[in-house]
Structure 1
Amino acid sequence: MSVTEFRILKWLREGRQSRKLILLIVFIALLLDNMLLTVVVPIIPSYLYAMEHESNTTDLQEGPSPPTASNGFQSIFSYFDNSTLITGNITEGAQLEELGLVATRHTAISTTPAPSDCPKADSSLLNENVKVGLLFASKATVQLLTNPFIGPMTNRIGYQIPMFAGFCIMFLSTVMFAFSGTYTLLFIARSLQGIGSSCSSVAGMGMLASVYTDDEERGNAMGVALGGLALGVLVGPPFGSILYEFVGKTAPFLVLAVLVLLDGALQLFVLQPSCVQPESQTGTSLFTLLKDPYILIAAGSICFANMAIAMLEPALPIWMMETMCSRQWQLGVAFIPASISYLIGTNIFGMLAHRIGRWLCAFIGMILVGISIICVPFAKNIYGLIAPNFGVGFAIGMVDSSMMPIMGYLVDLRHISVYGSVYAIADVAFCMGFALGPSAGGAIAKSIGFPWLMTIIGVVDILFAPLCLFLRSPPAKEEKMAILMDHNCPVKTKMYTQNSAQPYYAEEELENDE
C-alpha cells in the first residue's frame, strides 16, 4: 500500500469518528435540499404561466382561421411575448384583433409592442395561485406522510443508510425537474423530493443529536446545520431566477444534480451507508412523544413560524407580477433579505439562545414573524419588501435555532435519549407548515387577496407566541430522573440547565432534598 493510500484510509477512519465532518455532511445535505426546495420558487409561476399561455395561443392558431385575402399573414406570435411579428392587411388585422391577437396595418413584417408590460389584467394569473400552491405543497405533504416511518426506522438501522437514501432520491428528483415539461411531471418530481428530504433531515438531525450530547454544543452544532438550510434558502431563489431567465429552465437543476452527486460521494466514503448501526437502546415510541404537551408546543412553534414563509413563497411572486410588473429575476431576488436574515438568525441564536433562554427567543421570534409578515403587503416596489422580508427571515431563524435543540433536550429530560422519532416530529411540524401554507394560502389569496392572507398568518403567529412561555422550565419525569441517577450520568443531568435563567443540576437538587 502506498503512502498516499495509507493517508487517505487514515483520513477516512478519522473522519468517521469526527463530529465536525459529520456536521459538514449534514450541513451540505440541508443546503442542497433547500436549494432544490427554493430554486423553483421564481421559476414555476412564470414557467407555468408561459406554458399555459403558449398552449392557449397554439389553440387559437390551430382553430378556424379567418377569411384570408391574397396578402395573407405569414406568421403570428403570442401576445405574451410583449411583441408580435405578423404580416397582413387592415381587414385581416381587425379579424385577428377579435381573437385577442395583435396585427399590424402594413404588409411588411413589423413589431407591435403589447399595450402593457404587466399581466395584472389577466385572470389566468390569479388562477396560478392555486396550481402553484398545490405544486409547492406536494413536497411537504409527501414528506409529512413519510416522516413517521423514517424516524422509527433510524432507531433500528441507524442514520447512515437513510441519509444516503435521501441523497439518491434527491438526485432523481433534481433530474426530473430539469427535463419535466408538464405540470404532472413537475408535481411528481416535487413529491419525490419530499421522500428524499424526509430521509436527509430526520437522519441528519438525529445524527447530530447523538454525537453532540452536551446541550450547549448540540445547540451550536444545530445552529450551524440550520445555517446550511438558510444558505440553501438564500442561494436558491436568485440562483434559479437568474439562470432561468438567461440560460433556461434546465440549467439550474443540472447544476444542482452535479452538486448532489458530490455530496453523495462524500457520504459514501465517510458514513459507510452499507453498515447497519442500530441504536443501543430502544427509543420512546412516536405516539408517546406526540402525547407530550411540551413537544407539541415546540413542534407548533416550528410549524406556524415556517407556515408564514411557506405562504409567502408561492403568493409573493404572483402578487409582484400583478402590482409591481416585476421581471423574472426580481421574483427570486425579493427573497434574498429573508434568506440572509435567516442565516444570521440561526447562527447568532444557535449560540445565544442557550444563555438567554430558548423559550424567550422562540417567544420573541413568533411575535416578530407575525408583525413582519403583516407588513409585507404595504410594499409598493421591490425595495419596500426588504425590511419586512428581513424581519420574517430573522424571526424564523430565532424560532428554528431555539426549537430544534429543545426537541432533543425534551427527549433527554422526559424520555429515552434516542432522537430519530422526536426529529421526525420536528420535521412533520416543518412539513405541515409547508404543506398547509401553500395549499391553503393559494386558495385564500385567490378568494380574498394577498394582503388578507398575510394578515391572517401574522395574527396566528402572534396568538401562538405565549405558549412558548410553557417551555421555560419543563418538568422532568420521575422515572427519567431515577434512571439518570442510577447510572450516574452527569452529562445528561447537566442538560437540564438549558432553559433556565438560573441553571440548576439534577444531582445537586437531589442532594438538597436528602
Structure 2
Amino acid sequence: MACSRRSRASPRLVLLVVFVALLLDNMLLTMVDEVIPDFLFSWEQPCFLLWPSLNRSDAEPGNQSGLIPDLQINSSSCLQDNLFLDGNVRVGLLLASKALFQLLVGPVVGPLTNRIGYHIPMFAGFIIMFLSTIMFAFSGTYALLFFARSLQGIGSSFSSVAGLGMLASVYTDDEERGIAMGIALGGLAMGVLIGAPFGSVMYQFVGKSAPFLILAFLAVFDGALQLCILQPSKISPGSVEGTPLLALLKDPYILISAGSLCFSHMAVTILKLNLGFWMIDTMDSPYWHLGVAFLPASVSYLIGTNLFGVLANKMGRWLCSMLGMFIVGISLLCVPFATSIYGLIGPNGGLGFAIGMVDSSMMAIMGYLVDIRHASVYGSVYAIADVALCMGFAIGPAAGGALVQLVGFPRLMTIVGVINILYAPLFLFPKVGVKEKPNRNKMVSEEPEDDRQCS
C-alpha cells in the first residue's frame, strides 16, 4: 500500500503534474493576450477595427488613424486623438492585472506551503484557473474580464509557487533538479507556443468563447491528474522550519537571481505589448503575423530551457545567466532593424533562447542557494522568484504602453536592451560565495515517513 502511494507521488509523476499545470496556465496567458485586446476594441469601441483582415461586418472603411495606417474608423465621433490611446491604456491595465495580483498573492503562498505542504495549494491553483477560464469564455464587459484576469493571477501564483517548490523538494540532487526545472519550464514554453496561434485562429474563425471552453476542458484533465497523483486531501507540512521570507530577501545572491528574472521578462513583455502595433505601422502586417511573430521566441525558449537545464550545471549557472542577459539585450537592440516579419526571426529567436538560459539556471540556483545558505524549504524562495517574474510582467504592460508614446519603439527597445546588458556583470560577484557543500538539513519529501521508506 505504501509503495502504491509512492508510485503516485514519484518525482517523475510530480514533474508531469507541474509540467501540465504550467502548460495550461501559459496557454491561458497567451490566449488572453491574443484574443481579449481585439475583442474589447470591437465590443466596447465598435468604431475601431485594429486588423481589417478579421472582416468584421460592423466595420466600414473611413479615415485612418495617424498612429497606425490600417486602423479603420467608421464614425466621426471616433476622430479624437486620445481615443485609441485611452483604449490601449485600458487594455494594458487589464493585461497587467494578472501580474499585479500574482505579485500580491505570491508572498502569501510561499509561507503557506511551509505550513500545509504543496499539494493543497497546487490543487487550489487548478480550481482558480478553471474558474478564470470559464469567465473568459462568457464575459463580455471590461469589468468581468478584468476580474477574470485578476483571478488568473491568483491561480497562477498558487500553481507556480507550489509546483516549483514541490519539484525542488522531490529532486534533492542539484543536477537532477536543474534538469527537472528545465523540463517543467518547457511546459511553460509549450503553453506560450501553442496558446498564441491557437487562440488567434480559434477567435478569428469560431469566436471568443471556443478557445477558452476547450482550455477549460483540458484543465479538468489537469485536476484529475492532480487528484490521482498528489491526493490533495490532507495537510502535510515539511519537517524543517523554513527561513522567513524577509530573511531570504536580505540574501544578495537571491536578490541578484530574482532581479535577472524581473528584467529579462520585463523586456519580453514590453516587446510583446508594442511589437504588434509597430509591425502594423511599419510593415503593414496582417493580423495573423502578430501571432506568428513570437513563434521563434517560443520555440527557442523551449529549446533553451531543456538544453541548459542540463548544460548550465556543467558550464556554471551564473555564467550561463550572464550570457543569457547579454543576449537578451543584444536581441532587443536588433529588433528595430527588422523590415519584415522574416527580419524578426533572429532577434525573437535569440530573445527566447536567452530567457530560457536565464530561467533554467535561476530556478535551479535559487533552490540550491536555499540548500547551502538557509533551511531547505522552498516555498518562500520560489515565491520570491514568482514575485520577480510578476514585477517584470506588471512593469512591462503598465509602463511600456506609455513609454513608447514618449520615446518611440526603437528607442524603447534600445533602453530596455541596455538595461539588460548592464545588469549582466552582476553575475560575476556571487560565484565565490556559493562553493559550499549543500546543507544536510534537507527536507527529502513532504510525504509521510512510510512513503519515504519506499524510495
- Following the alignment from structure 1 to structure 2, what is the Cα–Cα distance between the partners of residues 259 and 41? 19
In structure 2, do the counterparts of structure 1 residues 467 and 226 end up closer, same or farther at CA, with 3 Å as the change threshold?
same
The answer to whether the Cα contact below 8 Å between 1:126 and 1:446 also exists between their aligned partners in 2 is: no
- Contact conserved, 1:375 with 1:388, CA < 8 A, in 2? yes
Give the Cα separation in 2 of the matches to 1:82 and 1:325: 19
1:84 to partner: Cα distance = 8.2
Q: Aligned residue for 1:190?
A: 149
Give structure 2 stretches of 5+ with no counterpart.
74-78, 445-455
User: Are 1:119 and 2:71 an aligned pair?
Assistant: yes
1:445 Cα deviation from its structure 2 partner: 1.5
Structure 1 residue corresponding to 2:376, chosen from 417, 427, 438:
417
**Deviation (angstroms), 1:236:** 1.2
Measure the CA separation in 2 of the matches of 1:206 and 1:243: 34
Establish whether residue 40 from structure 1 lines up as the match of residue 35 from structure 2.
no
Is 2:375 the counterpart of 1:392?
no
TM-score, with length taken from structure 2: 0.88
1:284 corresponds to: 243
- Counterparts in 2 of 1:12 and 1:50: CA distance versus 1, 3 Å: farther
Structure 1 residues 387 and 279: alpha-carbon distance in aligned structure 2, compared to 1, 3 A threshold:
same
Q: Partners of 1:211 and 1:151 in 2: how far apart?
A: 17
Query: Are the structure 2 counterparts of residues 10 and 382 from structure 1 closer, same or farther at C-alpha, using a change threshold of 3 Å?
Result: farther
Pair 1:274–1:173, CA change in 2 (3 A): same
**Residue 432 of structure 2 aligns to a residue in which SS?**
coil
**Would you say the 8 A contact 1:130–1:446 is kept in 2?**
no
Measured after TM superposition, the shift of residue 117 of structure 1 is 7.6
Moved more, 271-280 or 177-186: 177-186
> Which has the higher mean CA deviation after the structures are superposed, 460-469 or 448-457?
448-457
Letter in 1 for 2:412: L
Q: CA deviation at 1:101?
A: 8.5
Moved more, 464-473 or 193-202: 464-473
Query: 2: CA distance between counterparts of 1:120 and 1:440?
Result: 26
Change (3 A) 1:48 1:82: closer
Among 319, 322, 337, which residue is 1:360 paired with? 319
Gaps of 5+ in 1: 1-8, 58-77, 87-96, 103-115, 492-514
Greater C-alpha Rg: 1
Distance 1:85 1:302, change over 3 A: closer
Cα distance in 1 between the residues matched to 2:87 and 2:430: 40
Larger RCO (CA within 8 A; separation ≥ 6) = 2
Q: Does 1:21 align with 2:13?
A: yes
The answer to whether structure 1 residue 321 and structure 2 residue 273 are counterparts is no
Matched, 1:168 2:127: yes
The one of 173, 187, 191 equivalent to 1:232 is 191
Q: Does structure 1 residue 264 correspond to structure 2 residue 223? A: yes
Query: Given the superposition, is the C-alpha separation of residues 291 and 10 from structure 1 closer, same or farther in structure 2, using an over 3 Å criterion?
Result: closer
SS at 1:350 equivalent: helix
Moved over 6 A (4+): 82-86
Q: Output aligned runs, 1:73-472, within 5 Å.
A: 118-119=70-71, 123=81, 124-472=83-431
Q: For the structure 1 residues 51 and 446, does the alpha-carbon distance in structure 2 shift closer, same or farther, using more than 3 Å as the test?
A: farther
Amino acid paired to 1:264 = G
Distance in 2 between residues matched to 1:293 and 1:441, nearest whole Å: 28
Tell me the percent identity. Answer: 64
Number of matched residues? Answer: 431
Instruction: Check the 8 A contact 1:173/1:190 in 2, yes or no.
Output: yes
1:343 deviates by 0.2
Alpha-carbon separation, structure 2, partners of 1:14 and 1:416: 25
Structural RMSD (CA) = 2.8
Contact 2:161–2:383 (8 Å) recurs in 1: yes
Q: Distance in 2 between matches of 1:284 and 1:101?
A: 61
Contact persistence 1:119–1:322 (CA under 8 A): no
Residue 201 of structure 1 aligns to which amino acid in structure 2? Answer: S
User: In the aligned structure 2, how far is the partner of 1:85 from the partner of 1:132?
Assistant: 20
**Residue 51 and residue 205 in structure 1: after superposition, are their counterparts in 2 closer, same or farther (change >3 A)?**
same
Matched position secondary structure for 1:392: helix
Residue in 1 that maps onto 2:447: none
Structure 2 CA distance for partners of 1:445 and 1:14, relative to 1, 3 Å: same
Q: Aligned equivalents of 1:409 and 1:293: distance in 2?
A: 14
Please tell me the residue identity of whatever aligns with 2:26. Answer: N
Give per-residue Cα distances to partners, 1:250-287, cap 9 Å, x unaligned.
11111110111110011012111111110001110000
The answer (yes or no) to whether the contact 1:49–1:125 under 8 Å persists in 2 is no
Question: TM-score normalized by structure 1?
Answer: 0.79
Letter in 2 for 1:200: S
Q: Shift of residue 11 of structure 1?
A: 9.2
The aligned amino acid for 2:70 is: C
Aligned partner of 1:330: which letter?
H
How far 1:462 moved relative to its partner?
0.5
